[in-house]
Structure 1
Amino acid sequence: MAVADRVEGRGVRGGNAPAGERPVLGRFPRPARVAGYLALCAFALLYLLPFLIQLATSFKTDPAAAAHPMSLFSAEPTVEAYRRLFGLSGTAESVPFLRWLGNSAFVTVVVTSGRVAFDSMAGYALARLRFPGRRTLFVFLLAAMSVPPVVLLIPKFLVLKEFGMFDSYGGMITPLLVDAGGVFIMKQFFESVPREIEEAARIDGAGVLRTFWSVVLPMSRPSLITLTVLSFQGSWNEFTHFLVSTQSSRYDTLTTGLAHFVSGGLGGGTQYPLKLAAALLSTLPVAVLFFCFQRYFVRGANADSVKE
């Protein structure tokens, strides 16, 4: 039934559909379609305007940025802001951007690896293994997803303080290694895998771990990439957890370091070019990762749509 539906879907997209089943945009006259596309382009440019201002301001001097903050062009472009971020400027105090970047990269890689491993194993256990309390555990999982993260800030601080993990890499990483949303994503995907495939693997002598590692996990590539992108983005942009789990500046990440910088903790003056250059560089890794794996991300998000 699902195959027939997909075949019919290809026929509609290929132009073989009846006249009454044309795509939605094809039902409007050409002037209306042109106007719609122009409106979409205008909204896209409006959405990109803050990023363009951010990019342009990062190449301005401090007086030019203060005098013309919305201008997209500068009479005297300069890379002094980037030189200060990377410690290459000898005329002004540098910003510990490389330390922030190193802390963010280390924490993000460890947290992303842990989430992909633990979330996939927990999702497979909830989807396939039968053990007492499985449904209750899933209810608790859904309940954890519904709790606002800000509610857990003080309990996190108290627990980390009690276990002696406050102001350390362990306190920054350990509470983020498992994510309820990631477990839910993997559980939903594993439930879409036909059981006949796993039964065939067991007939060949594979155990639960072997079936999960060699048979089911390779089939979940779109969902794994989706989970990787979400975990990377979440841990890279994490702020509130790092705010309550650290105190020393040596553990500052890009988010906490930039927050201290913007609030005036690292010097006076507006310093708009320096702040916006740091913010721009901090957003590039997530943007590059998303655009590189966008098709897998969309495929993973729509994985349940191909079930019979």
Structure 2
Amino acid sequence: MDSEALVKLALSHLQCSQKELATRLNVSPTQITKWKKGEHMSIAMQDRLKELADIGDLDPTFVLWSGSKENSLKWKKLIDYLAELAHEGSETGYCTRPLEDEMGMLCWDTFLALKEMGVSIPKTFPEELDIDYESLDDESHETFFGNDYTSLIYDIYSSLNSVYGFYAAYIYDLVYDDDLDAFDTPGSDIEACLLSLAACKIEVDESIAPNFRKFQHQTLSDYEKWIAIIKEKAFRAGVPLRAELLKIVYSSAEELDNEAEIESFGANTSRLHPDIYMNELLVGMRAIHQALPAIMKKLEIYDEFQIDESEFHID
């Protein structure tokens, strides 16, 4: 929970000074300053400030990004509707858990991705989207999905179906495998950032999201590192993989969708993909190729060394 956001919302809602807020909370004004700088806040104090700020169970940072509690409720209504719509259209064979939003993080995750892409969140909720979504007719449906925010969020959620399906099919068990001991590594960030990865796989109007390329590059770079950690852990633990995990980084949403669907139907009969550890083998061979000449020169046997081809057997 963002302590800085909670303090700002409480001060704004109560229209009071930091000193007055400190008195209400029975803490020192210095403590309020520390919270504004991001210092950890107890759950009990978080609940107290959420009560004072009158935001209910809404994420405080999401409320700040929305501009007001009223705006955040409207955005949440839109996000919940689009998530349900996208989830119903999933064909991977796996339940896209982030879209079910059991942890209440979908609104925050969505706005974080939009902001990192450079999307400008309006100070007030778009009037044309403040409608009854269940009563959309053909004409209003076209207008609704013609909106930049609606179409962008829906495309991200549709992509998330595919990305999460591949993750659930091939990666989830590895992240939480006790033998791999990967959960306490950066590899554990794989699940938390899947929505951002999904956003990297859609077509985006960069006039709306001017930072998209930078966002995409950083997200894909992070995933390359995280997946490499999981693959190394699996390699060292002797745990076989059923697919090339880096596909989640490089493959399109449609390709990931097909991979997940095949696995969910049990059509993937191979236990170990033949190319899974090829990269690790090639890296090791390159390292030997670079180091061996230096070692031989150090031992002063470089010029004398001859390969005995008779040891090579070709069947």
> In which range does the TM-score fall when normalised by the shorter chain?
under 0.3
Instruction: Please give the TM-score of this superposition, normalised by the length of structure 1.
Output: 0.23
Determine which structure has the larger helix proportion and give its number: 1
Instruction: Please give the TM-score of this superposition, normalised by the length of structure 2.
Output: 0.23
